[in-house]
Amino acid sequence: MQETVLGNMVYRIYDLRELSPDVRVAIEQAAIGSAARETGKPENQVGRYFSDRKRTFVVYDIGLARTTEGDQM
């Protein structure tokens, strides 16, 4: 998982290329649940995007950045 800060938003990018489908689903569900707990939003309102071509899963709209560490987009 790579956490990226863009402005005041936090994006978490998960690389799923080498994982089996069942493991990918488990990681996606855990990432959504974690973001929901952090934001206080229901899971169905957490921003997310899956790129089939790049085999990555992005959870975004997590809220204000807690830190400026990490890669800047």
* pLDDT tens-digit series, residues 12-27: 888 888 888 888 888 8
Q: Can you give the pTM of this predicted structure? A: 0.65
pLDDT tens per residue, range 35-54: 888 888 888 888 887 777 76
Q: What pLDDT is stored for residue 63 in this prediction?
A: 56
Q: Which amino acid is at 22?
A: D
H helix runs in 1-73, sequence order: 21-39
Burial of residue 51 (CB within 10 Å: 0-12, 13-18, 19+) is exposed
Q: What pLDDT is stored for residue 72 in this prediction?
A: 41
Contact by Cβ (8 Å): 57, 24: yes
Distance CA 61, CA 16 (A): 20
